[in-house]
Structure formats: C-alpha cells, structure tokens
Chain A
Amino acid sequence: MKRGKITVCILLAFVLTIMAPATTASANQATSYTYTLEIKSGSYEFPRTQDAYLPDKTVTKLELSKPTDVFITQDNRMFICDSGNKRIVIYNIDTDTVVDEIKGGELKTPMGVFVTKDGCIYVADNGAKAVLKYSPELELLNTFTRPTQPSFSDTNFDPLKVAVDNAGNMYVISEGVYNGIIQLAGTGDFLGYFAVNKTKLTPSQLVQKILFTREQLANLTATVPTTFSNVYVDDMGIVYSTSMGNADECLKKHNTSGGNMFMEGIVGWDDVTDVTTDKNGIIYTCTERGYIEIYSKNGEFIFEFGSFVTNVDIAGLFSSLPSIAVDNNGFIWGVDKDKGYLQSFKPTDYAKQIYGAMGLYEAGKYEESLSAWRDVLRLNQMSVLAHNGVGKALFHAQRYEESLEHFEVAENRNYYSEAFWEVRNQKLQVILPYVFALIFLLIVVNIVIKRVDKKGKLKNFKKDLTNKMLDTPVLGDVLFMFRVARHPGDRYYDIRVANSVRGASKFAGHGHASVIGAAIIYVLTFITYMVYSTMKGFIYQYVAVEDMDIGGSVAGFFVLIGLFVICNWLVTSINDGDGSLKTVFILPAYAVAPLIVGMLSVTVLSYAMTYNESFILTIIMVVTGIWSFVNLFTGLMNVHDYSFGETVRSFIITFFFMAVAVIIGLIVSIMFEQLFGFIVSVGRELILNVI
C-alpha cells in the first residue's frame, strides 16, 4: 500500500505539472467545438463534447513571415522557424518577449527546428541543404550536409524537419525523399532509413501492374509511398512521425527499430503536419486545415478541436497550421503560416480531468480512476472514452455486470464479450444444476413414455397431427418447406410433377408447394432476415437499426429474388428447362427452410455467446446456408430435369443475366435523371431569361 501511495503521489505531481498554473478556465468561450470519438455501428462519429481548450493568447507582435515550425523547451522558451524572414526567433512565453534570434551566416531557409535537452539547437535548412547545429549560446557548431556514404547514393538532401534523440542521432525529413526518415549519426554519417511508409496500390494500379508491359509501366507516374511530414523525439527518446496523404499512416510512434507501435492504426486525417508530446506522454497533432487532435500515449483518440477558416481573424482558428508545441503549463501553441501569428490554448478543467483519470488508470489505481472517469462521464454522457474508462475500471475491479452497460455504449465488443463471459460464468454456476436436473427429468419422462405407450399411440398422434397440419391449405403449403429440406430430391420431383402433369396436382404424401405458400415463405424469409440483422445480441449486432438502410434492404431483397426468378425462367426457356415461371417462382422459396432456422437460432444464441464461442454461430450459418443452397441446386436440377453440369451452367448464366439486367437498369435510370435535369435547366433558363 505504501508503495502504491508513493506511486500515486508521483503521478499526481506529474498530472499537476501539466495543470500549473491552475486557473479555472471559464468555458463556453471556445471559438470552435471540441469533438470526441464515438464508434457507431463500426464507423466513426465525432460527437461534440465539453470544450477541452480555450484560445488564450494571440501574439501578433513578432512580425513573422511564413513561420513553419515551433519548438518549446522545458524552460518555456519557444523557438520559431520564421522561414519568410530567414531566421529563428527565440520567444520567452512567460515574459512575452523576444529574447534572441539566429539570423544570417549559414542560415538560408530554415524550415524545421529542434532543441535537445542540453540546449543545442538543430535547424533543418532547406536553402542551405543542410542541418545546422548551434550551441546553447547560438554559435554554429556543425553543418551537416549531404551524407557521403555510398548507401545514400544520389538521394536528395533538402532537410525540412529534424529531430534528435538522446544519443545524438538525427532524424531528418528531406524534400523529395520517399525512402523514409533519414537517420544520421551525431557525426553526420548516414545510418540508414529509420522508418518507411509502404506504397499502397489502388485497385486500378494493381490491375495495371498485372496487365501492363514494362514499357507501359515505365510511362506511368511512379507510385510513391506517403511522405513523412514531420518527426519528433520525446524526452524518453521515442520517435514519432507524421505523414500526409494517407489518414491510416498519419501518426506513428516508433520503436527503436523504426516499427510502428500503434498496430491497430490511428483515427486521424490525411493532412497532419506536426506532432508533439507532453511530459505525461499525451500526444498532440495538428493538421494543415487548423485542427488539433489529442491522443493518449497508446494512440486512443481523446478529442479534437479547431476549424478551417479563411479571411476571418478569430482567435483559435487557423487558415494554415504547420506546427504546434506544448509549453510546461500544458498550454498548446500553434502558429498560423498565412497570418504569421502565434496562438495559445489553455486546457479547461474538463481536459485536465480526463488527463488525470487516464493517469490514474495507467498507474493501476482502478478505484481512483473509476471516480475520476465518473466525473468525466457526468460532463459528457456520450463520451466513448469515459464509458470505456468507467467500464475498464469496473472490469478490473471485477464489477463485470456494471461494466457491461458502459462497454455497450462505447461499442467496445471485445471488453463486453470478456465481461459477459464472466457474468455468464457466474450465472451458469447458479443455473447449471437446474439445467442438469431438467435434462435428467426429460430423459426419465421419455423412458417412461416409451414404457407406457407400447403401441406407439402418442407417436401416431404426433404423426397425424403433422399430416393434418400439412393438409391444411396455406399453412400446409408453408410447412411443406421443411419436408423439402429433409428430402429435397424427392420433394422437388413432386413439385415438378404436380406442376407439369395436368390434373396431377395431388400426389402421394401430405402437403404440397403452392404459389401462395411460396409468397408467404418469401415474406417470412424477409422478416427472419430483418430479425436476424437487427435483433442479435449486442456482441454480434454490429450495425444498429437506425444506421441501416431499411428501404435498401427491402428493395434489395425482393428485387434480387424477382430478378433471379425471371432470369432463371428466361434462361431455362431457351435452355430446354422443364420448369414453368410458376415452378421457378416456387422453387427458391422451398429451399430456404434451413436458412430461416439458422438465422433464428443464431439470433437467439447471440444473446448467450461471447466471442469465444463465435465459431458455433459461424458453423450454424455456414451449414444452414450450404444446406439451403444444396436444396436450391437440387430443386433446379429436378424441376428443369437438368444434369449436374447443366444446372451449374444454368446458374452461371442466370447470374450473368441478373448482372446485365442491373447494369441496364442503372443506365436507363441515369439517362432519365439526366433528361429530367436537362428539362429542368431549360425550364429555369426560360423562366429567368426569356419570360
């Protein structure tokens, strides 16, 4: 316990350092909304949340021209890369004064700046094609020009950004270099490419790559990987990088070998320009359009604020945001490249609460983090982050049942599944004896009945009842599908006979297929399908009802069946099939009984299964799906009197026809839309200019 106390104290001190000076930030005064992440039916939504940061100071007096980079040291000095004025401005945040500047000499077009713990300043100078190293007294110590190592070959060396790790290795982003981040030793020797973005081909590029000749490929514009836009090294020596052009690779936290520690990817944008961290490892990024995103050290999206504006000078809104940095009070500083001024943002109590709760959780103080997260949740009941926080804290405190609600809101299915497993386990322990007792009882009853009912009266009664039901019009027609499912070959033969031989509508056996029965089955299938897609247990219900395109489902389902029936009938008409339109209509309906049963049972079982047992549900769906398909296949074979090969061919041609029909339908509808638009335009033009 004592050790725990010390940990918490250290942690508190940590949390507090980012809070000082702790002024109560008056909220409701932000100039852009703060958004948090919500995962809804598997896709991202960004609901609004309490303001996380408020615009604080706008510094307009520095007369910056096209600033490209800012870096804040631990003593709150800000190094500003004032590219347009070809200088590095050193601005003291606490005293609001310019304390010094680096200008002239080797410095040509500075684009990036980095200051090490010992105060050495590294400048990525694009104009000088070098990385310049200055002493803390601003004396030029080294000029690292293009590495001469053969492995660097004739690669460009036009540095844009630079960062330096604790061992003195430099990480350089150079213009026009797609190989990755250039890693240089403290001596300027080329060590290799630290991290690489992979080339990703679009589907059309893939096709080109397969089909084109070497000459043709050479003529295409070269496919290059996403370019790195910035690099940063935190106090611990961890390297972070940002990339532009691909949201999936926008932010990476690298391990020592350059691999990405954010294995599951990051929720971000494709125009990320800078990354920085604070003492607690919280990660801040900014985008060119003026948004600032904040992530936990594990890459979870916490919140985002900002907005893109042009021609309006409102505090906290940028028209171009190339760089951000965080000072030792936890204030974020951004620089506007177009307008040339600095803007700071002050964290609100809400932001501090979240950082505090995260810190406690990471320190393993689940009880404390639970109450901290509950406070956050009070202020935003839609916060996925807070629900996850509360949920996880409850989970670790073994309060599984309570945690379920929070994981459900947060759509955290993995944790929900685990918590549910625990809850179910507890319940099972209570219920299991009763279940076994019930099973035992049923077995006993069965044996007793067999003993008593030696003549099989009960069995006959059951059989009679079934036959009676099968003989009932309509009901019997529908129930007949289960008979089809059991013996598809025989029953489809019955269907064929019943519908092709005049006067032979009655055949041996009970029940028969009919058009009305088929129509009802189609409706039943649809209802079952809708139940299956909307009513599964939380773990397996990936899409919420309100997120579904219900109209699309209805239209899609019935159009598909209609198309299949018509196309198959057309195909068989020219292909010597025996089936009439009526039989082709009836046929698929009577094949789907297994699927209906499968979908219903999966829907019911989904309430009791965790992810550990998901294979059971998969098996049910696969088996019943195949079963239904086999039914359909057998049906076609029987009804049309086809061989196996002919049936396969008939299937393929049917699907081809269906595709053609869809394409023609699309073309016609687009043409009509165009025609309508044209008529409307002409009409408006007439009204406006002629009448």
Chain B
Amino acid sequence: MSSKKFRITSIALLACLLFTTGATGYIDTNRDTRPAPEKALVETIGTNGYDFLTETDTLKYYYRDDRDIFMIVDKRNGYTWKTGLDAAYSSEIKKNMAAASNDEELLLAAEPKEKNLNATYIGIANSLVTVEYSELETTKYISSASEKGASSVLSGNGRDYKLDVNMEAIDLKLSVYITLGEDEISYFVPFEEMSGEGLKSVTAVILTPFLGASGGLAQYYDPETGDYGEAVSKYMVPGYVLVPDGSGALIRFTDNNVAFTSYEGDVYGSDPSTETFYYSEVTDAVPVKDPVMPVFGIAHGNRQAAFVAYAESGAEYMDIIVNPEETKRIKYTYAYPRFEYNLTYYQVYNNAGSGYFTLMEEPNIFDVRMTYKFLAGDGSKGFAADYTGMALAYREHLVEEGILTEKDVTAGDIPMRADFLMSDVKKSVIGTTQVVTTTVDDVRDILNDLEEAGIKNVNSGLIGWQKKSETLAKPASFSFTKSIGSSKDFKGLMKEFAERGKDLSFSRNFTVINDKMLSYYTNAAKHVNTWYLSVDRTVLYPKNAPVQYTGYALPEKTAKWIETAAKKASSYAGSLTITGSSNILTATYDRNGVVTSLTDSAKLIAESMEAAAGKLALNLENPNMYLWKYTNRYLKAPVGNSQFVFESDTVPFLQLVLNGTMEMYAPYSNFSFYTQADILRMIDYNVYPSFVFTGEPSYLLSDTASSDMYSTEYTEYKAIAKRVYEGVNGVLSRTMGMDWTGREVLKSGLIKNTYKDGKETHYVIINYTQSDETVDGVKVPALSAIFR
C-alpha cells in the first residue's frame, strides 16, 4: 500500500470510528437550551387583605396596603402575580394569634412562617421598594413595608398612583409613581423627589425583588397540635429567570443543594470610573459578558405565564440581580433590578497606593423608569409566555420607541464578515517598528480569491491600517504608511470594491487608549478617586509588547474622535467600524466631583454616532442598547453566556430581539468557533460567520499587542472559511428577509426555529445530536440543519 493510500485509509478509519463511537444520547450542558420546563400548577389565590384598584381588558389590579403589594390577575389565563412575597412578620403573626378570639380568626391569623427569612428580608420580600444603604461600611436594607422605621402611603386613582415612602430610620423620603397599564405595570422613581439626610448614605434602590420568585421553605400551622410544624419546601413553580447574559441565559428554578453567589449583571458593563479601585487587570478567565440591554424576565411553567421587565430610564446605573436558590440560605430564586446611587471606593493618596475606603460625596443623579409587561399563553394570541415572547415583546417596545427599525432585506446569499489585521507594532532597536501582516494588495487578492471561492457577499473591517497601527496611532489619526498602502491606495481599494458591492471600512477603537499613543493629560478618564483609570494587560500581552497598560478616553474625546474619524472616513468608504466605544461606557471625575456622568457619557457617544451615521453606515462591535439606533452591522454578537454554574440554558435572546433590524455577525470563527457544532450554532442563532485574516503568518505578531490573534493567515483559513460559510449560507440564505417568530426545543439537542414570510410559515430544524432525527416526517441527519 502506498503511503498516500495508507494515509487516506487511516484518516477514513479515524473518521468512521469518530462518528460511530459517538452515537450516544445528547447530553445538555449550560451552553445548550434544554427542553421547556414542566407545566406550572395554577393556584387560585384569594384577594383577602387586598383592595381592588382597577381593571383593564387584560389585567385586574389589587393592592395590599400594609405590605405594599400589588396583586395582578391576568384575565387571559387566570394567573396571579404578586409584586411581593406576601409573608407576615413573625411578631405580627404572634400578635394576631394572641388577639384572635375564635378558631376561625386564629386560623386566619396563623399565617405560614417563612423559614430562613428574618424581619429585614421579609420586609424586602414584601415591599414595592427597598433602599440599600451604607452604615459604618456595612450594607443595610430598609423597605417601604419594613417592620419598623418606615411608612408608606398610596394615593391616586384610576390607573395612576403614587406611593410616598418615608424612611424615618435613615431620614429619607422618596416617591414611586405607578402606572397600571393594559398589560403592564410601570414605576417611576424621580431623583428630584428623593430627599433627606439619608440620601447621602443610599447606595441603591431595589424594586419588587420577589415578583415571580419561586421556591421557599415555610412552617405551617397545624390546628390539631395548635403549633407550627417542621419547615417544609413550598411549591417550587417550574420556570426560569431570563437574564441578558451574553446572548441570553436562563436560570431555572431548581433545588441546587449548594450555596451560590448571586448573578449580578451590570447593564452596559461596570463603569470603570466607579469601581472600587482605579486599576483592574485582565485575567486568564474569559470576562463575564455584561448585559447590553436593561431587560430581564421570569417565566412560570411552559408558555403559561411570564413577564418581561425593562428599564426606560436609569439603565446605565442598573444591575440585574438574580439570587439562585440558594444564596445566603434563602431558599427562593428571585430576580430584581437594582439601581445604584452611591458606592464605596478606595481613595488613594500616594504613589505607594495607601488609602482608605469611602463613599462618593454626591450620589448619581438619575430617574428610574421600569416597566413590567405580562405575557400569557403559547403565543397564539400576542407573545408567548417564554423567553421568545419576552424577546419579541421587548423588540416591539424598542420598535415603538424608534430605537429599532425593521429593515427590508432581499433574499440572497448571507453576508460574511472578513476583517483584516493589517499591522501592529513591536519594540525595536530604537522605538518601535510596524509589523505589516496584510497590505492593500493582499486585501484585494484575498477578497478576489474569496469571490472565486463562491463567497461573494462580503464586508470587511480593516484593523491596524494606519501609521503606528491601532496600538500607537492617535485615535482619530488618518496618516498612512506606504508599507501597508498610501491614502490613494486605500481610496482605490475601497472604491473598487464598493463598486462591486463590497463594503470595506476602517476599524478603530476610540475608547481604549494608552499613554504611549497620546498624553493622558486632557485625554484620559479619571476614577472617582481622581487617578487615571488603568487596566493591567500583562497577562494578555507578551512581556516585550510596546504597551502593557491601557486607560480609557474621556467620553467627550471619544465622541469628538468618532465625529472626526467619521468625517474623514466618509471620503474613503461607505461605513466605519467602531470597537470598544460601542460597548464600553465610562464616566469621568475630577477633584470637584463628576465631570461627565454615565448618563451624559452615553448621550455624548450616542450623539456622536448619530452624527457619524449621517455620513456613513456604522459597524459596531457588541453595541449597547443606546447605540442600536445607529447600528447597521452588529459585530461579534455573543453566541453564549458567562456560564455561571446556576445558569441552566443558553438562548438567543439578543438575536431574537434584534432580528430583522440589523445584520448580526458571530465572533471570529478563527478562534475556537469553526467546528460543525459551531456552524449549527450560527444557523440556530441566526448570525452570520466572520473571520479575521492576514496575508502573512500570524506568528509575526507574537511580540505585539495582537499576540492573541494566534491564527489568521488567509491561506490556512481559506478552506475553513469556505466550509463555514457554505454550511451557514445553505440554511440561512433561505430565511433572509423572514421574521423569526419562535424557537422550540423538541428534545435535547434538537431545535426548531419558526420563521414567517408573510402568511407562510417555515422551519429551520437544527440537529446538534450525533444521530439522525425525524421531525414531522422529515429526516434531519446528525449534526446538520435543514430548512423547510
């Protein structure tokens, strides 16, 4: 046997064995979506203790004054939601039982006793609003319906109410305006109406943390023994919390047997200027994926009842908190929005880093607006009561607000993103030298070659195209180097391909800067402790890279650079690619306090993007919600979540929200995203493939800040790119221009996505398993996807 023949035989044998040995059942991990939860039991809940407020065609509203709880009965399915746990304080039970004059009254007074919830937590669990404050460096809570120290009054009528809360214990007054809508309840907490000395120590405001909570442990009164029995588990409603972690994650209600820490999703990422310390470091752990939208939801049962909650104001300061069973011995899984007004940070006063912990002098100034929209049923009427319905409901809201616009897409091949890493800098005998990995001519050759390979619908971002490269060039600099291509070369290249329908754009990060690129003075953002913000990247960068630390630009500078760059770029190309600034939001401070707040910073950047969008199209990397209005292409859309142990499923929530409003691209397939399962994930999540290419081998970059681009050479990736593109295009090109309306897990590893094209309904069935499956009489081979 010749050596070649032999090799082929070996490989065939290997492939054969690979597939046969793998034919075992598909085992879900938290990177998959598991089959839907079981049906929830619908209990009839009495309105005892509640006053009827109003009703709409969809909902009935009641209110319990002593515990500040709204009860919402969904007329569509009879499901009852309570904004609080509705649990009695043990002292209250004791008092009421003592006061009972007969057995009937005693039974009524002997309410279940919550186990592992102390008076503070019962206050939190019941109340509409809870304030988190700092006292002697410890965090404490006081709620609108606390056992003592606070009182509240609800006033209003019809659909508009106002809850005036007076927290005497800490000298704080605040008001919550409540609007009872057709199928939604909204809260408005204006900063203006927060007053009192206590405001200085308020760190956060929490709204209705136990709405939709599941689980719990309680003791029940036994009339026969005349005493409370052993604590027993309450009915754990099957269902889940949806959090916008990455593409979206479900945290199912389950008894976990171990203690967990909370999920804390910091909307738009945590603000580096108000972190505890002014410096942070890149670690070996993949960073947690911060929510890019202020939304979460809870579903009870399988398409029975659900709500989706979103912030319309105050999102920059919002955390989405989920306490999975069990945290701090609390046997409930509960989720809520937390709005941060103040925080403890480390004030440093010398170069050695000595300092002390302190609160900010002035709190963050913003208003809170939260809306909870209730969903019912399987989606035959309105939106389904599951994560897909939540996504579509939120999408509808964003469309109504004008943040998203549905785009007409013509049928045809799907687009592919082919970015080019043109150069980076490394240290040299004197100063630095630019390592060129892709020239203008290389780009032309590669794009032509891709076209020949059948990948025609391509758009590209050019990275490191400028003199001194991405690492050392000033953010808005437009100076070119001949070794890559002159200004004229770039113009020629971009024009040539624009005529052929291929959009090439310059890519730039206008937020992450370093002190070798420009002076921090008047350019860099400062921490609330007035030191320049600093990120230690020594773990990521090679020891000899020209830069080891980075900072953040002042928001106003970022905004200015974006505008300048957009103006300059518009004479070359039809679009501009922006990284960093699309996803990082930072405030800045000086010794007089806040210079640009998070709210202002988001506004500044949004305005600059608006101005830029007037000149050219914008390709933004993982943009935050406030930039979606200006986004044409969503790059590096997450296709997974942070994988907290208690997160049970990964879902394409983000993709469902944005479907049909912009093109969404997956992370680079070069880096661990090229296998058949990854192709299926792109089809499942409706995202298009993207690659980063270089003309030269990527090991040339090993001494630069791009050393994490460990494999980019086009010749090595051509075959992979073709395989990935054809795999995804084969299915997704058929769905172009259709509405994605549903997603269902038929069984572990078998997904059915529903698309609507006018009145026609189509399905994409994705089989992640190792065995062939038959769905509605159609065979779906192992590890493949079909359209029908």
- Contact residues in A for B427 (Cβ distance below 8 Å): 545-548, 550
Assess whether A25 is in contact with B645, with CB atoms less than 8 Å apart.
no
Assess whether A349 is in contact with B675, with CB atoms less than 8 Å apart.
yes
Interface residues of A, Cβ cutoff 8 Å to B: 1, 5, 8-9, 12-13, 15-16, 19-33, 35, 38, 40, 43, 45, 47-51, 54-58, 60-63, 291, 305-309, 311-317, 339-341, 348-350, 356, 367-368, 371, 377-383, 409, 530, 534, 544-548, 550, 677, 680-681, 684-685, 687-688
Assess whether B429 is in contact with A28, with CB atoms less than 8 Å apart.
no
A-B contact pairs, 15 of them (CB 8 A): A21-B22, A23-B770, A27-B674, A43-B543, A307-B284, A341-B258, A356-B14, A367-B3, A544-B544, A546-B426, A680-B351, A681-B350, A681-B352, A681-B354, A687-B591
Q: For the complex, is B257 an interface residue (Cβ under 8 Å from A)?
A: yes
Assess whether B347 is in contact with A314, with CB atoms less than 8 Å apart.
no
Closest chain-B Cβ to A44's Cβ sits at a distance in Å of: 10
Q: For the complex, is B7 an interface residue (Cβ under 8 Å from A)?
A: yes
Assess whether A313 is in contact with B644, with CB atoms less than 8 Å apart.
yes
Task: State which residues 735-760 of B face A: CB under 8 Å.
Answer: none
CA distance A20 to B702 in the complex (A): 35
Q: For the complex, is B136 an interface residue (Cβ under 8 Å from A)?
A: no
**A339 touching B258 in the complex, CB below 8 Å, given contacts A313-B646, A367-B3, A688-B349:** yes
Assess whether B544 is in contact with A546, with CB atoms less than 8 Å apart.
yes
Kindly name the residue among A5, A13, A50, A314 whose own CB sees the greatest number of chain B CB atoms within 10 A: A314
Q: For the complex, is B496 an interface residue (Cβ under 8 Å from A)?
A: no
- Contact residues in B for A379 (Cβ distance below 8 Å): 674, 711
Assess whether A60 is in contact with B702, with CB atoms less than 8 Å apart.
no
Assess whether B21 is in contact with A29, with CB atoms less than 8 Å apart.
no
- Contact residues in B for A409 (Cβ distance below 8 Å): 699
**A9 touching B13 in the complex, CB below 8 Å, given contacts A22-B22, A27-B674:** yes
- Contact residues in B for A27 (Cβ distance below 8 Å): 672-675, 678
**4 closest cross-chain pairs (CB), A and B:** A27-B672, A681-B350, A307-B285, A26-B677
Assess whether A31 is in contact with B7, with CB atoms less than 8 Å apart.
no
Assess whether B284 is in contact with A35, with CB atoms less than 8 Å apart.
yes
The one of B347, B672, B710, B720 in contact with A30, judged by C-beta atoms closer than 8 angstroms, is B672
**A19 touching B350 in the complex, CB below 8 Å, given contacts A48-B710, A381-B699, A382-B699:** no
Q: For the complex, is B640 an interface residue (Cβ under 8 Å from A)?
A: yes
Assess whether A313 is in contact with B645, with CB atoms less than 8 Å apart.
yes
Assess whether A309 is in contact with B675, with CB atoms less than 8 Å apart.
no
Assess whether B703 is in contact with A544, with CB atoms less than 8 Å apart.
yes
Closest chain-A Cβ to B408's Cβ sits at a distance in Å of: 31
Closest chain-B Cβ to A632's Cβ sits at a distance in Å of: 28
| Residue of A whose beta carbon sits closest to that of B716 | A378
CA distance A24 to B24 in the complex (A): 12
CA distance A24 to B15 in the complex (A): 12
**A313 touching B261 in the complex, CB below 8 Å, given contacts A47-B708, A381-B710, A546-B703:** yes
The one of B22, B352, B429 in contact with A20, judged by C-beta atoms closer than 8 angstroms, is B22
- Residue total for B at the interface (Cβ-Cβ under 8 A): 79
Assess whether A24 is in contact with B284, with CB atoms less than 8 Å apart.
no
Assess whether B261 is in contact with A32, with CB atoms less than 8 Å apart.
no
Closest chain-B Cβ to A412's Cβ sits at a distance in Å of: 14
**A315 touching B30 in the complex, CB below 8 Å, given contacts A340-B258, A545-B429:** yes
Assess whether B544 is in contact with A29, with CB atoms less than 8 Å apart.
no
| Residue of B whose beta carbon sits closest to that of A348 | B672
CA distance A381 to B437 in the complex (A): 13
Q: For the complex, is B778 an interface residue (Cβ under 8 Å from A)?
A: no
- Contact residues in B for A56 (Cβ distance below 8 Å): 27, 29
**A371 touching B7 in the complex, CB below 8 Å, given contacts A26-B681, A546-B427:** yes
Kindly name the residue among A19, A380, A546, A685 whose own CB sees the greatest number of chain B CB atoms within 10 A: A546
- Contact residues in A for B26 (Cβ distance below 8 Å): 23
Assess whether B430 is in contact with A550, with CB atoms less than 8 Å apart.
yes
The one of B29, B352, B716 in contact with A677, judged by C-beta atoms closer than 8 angstroms, is B352
CA distance A493 to B426 in the complex (A): 49
Q: Mark B246-265, 1 if CB is under 8 A from A, else 0.
A: 00000000001110110000
Q: For the complex, is B357 an interface residue (Cβ under 8 Å from A)?
A: no
Assess whether A380 is in contact with B710, with CB atoms less than 8 Å apart.
yes
Q: For the complex, is B385 an interface residue (Cβ under 8 Å from A)?
A: no
Kindly name the residue among B256, B542, B681, B698 whose own CB sees the greatest number of chain A CB atoms within 10 A: B542
| Residue of A whose beta carbon sits closest to that of B18 | A22
Q: For the complex, is B244 an interface residue (Cβ under 8 Å from A)?
A: no
Assess whether B21 is in contact with A22, with CB atoms less than 8 Å apart.
yes
Assess whether B645 is in contact with A58, with CB atoms less than 8 Å apart.
yes
Assess whether A29 is in contact with B710, with CB atoms less than 8 Å apart.
no
CA distance A377 to B10 in the complex (A): 20
- Contact residues in B for A63 (Cβ distance below 8 Å): 257-258
Assess whether B681 is in contact with A380, with CB atoms less than 8 Å apart.
no
CA distance A47 to B710 in the complex (A): 8
**A382 touching B707 in the complex, CB below 8 Å, given contacts A60-B257, A60-B258, A550-B430:** yes
- Contact residues in B for A312 (Cβ distance below 8 Å): 261, 288, 644
Q: For the complex, is B377 an interface residue (Cβ under 8 Å from A)?
A: no
Assess whether B13 is in contact with A12, with CB atoms less than 8 Å apart.
yes
CA distance A309 to B287 in the complex (A): 12
CA distance A687 to B529 in the complex (A): 12
| Residue of B whose beta carbon sits closest to that of A685 | B349
Assess whether B645 is in contact with A24, with CB atoms less than 8 Å apart.
no
Assess whether A16 is in contact with B21, with CB atoms less than 8 Å apart.
yes
Assess whether B286 is in contact with A50, with CB atoms less than 8 Å apart.
no
Closest chain-B Cβ to A449's Cβ sits at a distance in Å of: 43
- Contact residues in A for B708 (Cβ distance below 8 Å): 47-48
- Contact residues in B for A371 (Cβ distance below 8 Å): 7
Assess whether A61 is in contact with B699, with CB atoms less than 8 Å apart.
no
| Residue of A whose beta carbon sits closest to that of B591 | A687
CA distance A538 to B500 in the complex (A): 46
- Contact residues in B for A1 (Cβ distance below 8 Å): 1, 6
Q: For the complex, is B191 an interface residue (Cβ under 8 Å from A)?
A: no
Closest chain-A Cβ to B256's Cβ sits at a distance in Å of: 6
| Residue of A whose beta carbon sits closest to that of B285 | A307
- Contact residues in B for A45 (Cβ distance below 8 Å): 542-543, 702
Q: Identify 4 new A-B residue pairs, CB closer than 8 A, beyond the known A31-B286, A530-B429.
A: A26-B680, A47-B542, A306-B284, A680-B351
Q: For the complex, is B428 an interface residue (Cβ under 8 Å from A)?
A: yes
Q: For the complex, is B235 an interface residue (Cβ under 8 Å from A)?
A: no
Assess whether B257 is in contact with A61, with CB atoms less than 8 Å apart.
yes
Assess whether B711 is in contact with A12, with CB atoms less than 8 Å apart.
no
Q: Mark B401-440, 1 if CB is under 8 A from A, else 0.
A: 0000000000000000000000000111110000000000
- Contact residues in A for B642 (Cβ distance below 8 Å): 31, 314
Q: For the complex, is B52 an interface residue (Cβ under 8 Å from A)?
A: no
**A19 touching B18 in the complex, CB below 8 Å, given contacts A27-B678, A381-B711:** yes
CA distance A383 to B707 in the complex (A): 12
Task: State which residues 688-705 of B face A: CB under 8 Å.
Answer: 697-699, 702-703
CA distance A56 to B32 in the complex (A): 11
CA distance A63 to B257 in the complex (A): 6
Assess whether A47 is in contact with B707, with CB atoms less than 8 Å apart.
yes
| Residue of B whose beta carbon sits closest to that of A687 | B591
Q: For the complex, is B660 an interface residue (Cβ under 8 Å from A)?
A: no
Q: For the complex, is B667 an interface residue (Cβ under 8 Å from A)?
A: yes
Assess whether A26 is in contact with B284, with CB atoms less than 8 Å apart.
no
CA distance A349 to B674 in the complex (A): 10
| Residue of A whose beta carbon sits closest to that of B30 | A315
CA distance A212 to B622 in the complex (A): 65
Q: Mark B532-548, 1 if CB is under 8 A from A, else 0.
A: 00000000101110000
Closest chain-A Cβ to B305's Cβ sits at a distance in Å of: 28
The one of B13, B21, B698 in contact with A382, judged by C-beta atoms closer than 8 angstroms, is B698
Q: For the complex, is B603 an interface residue (Cβ under 8 Å from A)?
A: no
- Contact residues in A for B286 (Cβ distance below 8 Å): 30-33
CA distance A30 to B284 in the complex (A): 11
Assess whether A307 is in contact with B283, with CB atoms less than 8 Å apart.
yes
Q: Mark B331-352, 1 if CB is under 8 A from A, else 0.
A: 0000000000000000101111
Task: State which residues 4-51 of B face A: CB under 8 Å.
Answer: 6-7, 10, 13-14, 17-19, 21-24, 26-27, 29-31
Q: Mark B702-725, 1 if CB is under 8 A from A, else 0.
A: 110001101111001100100000
**A26 touching B678 in the complex, CB below 8 Å, given contacts A1-B1, A380-B710:** yes
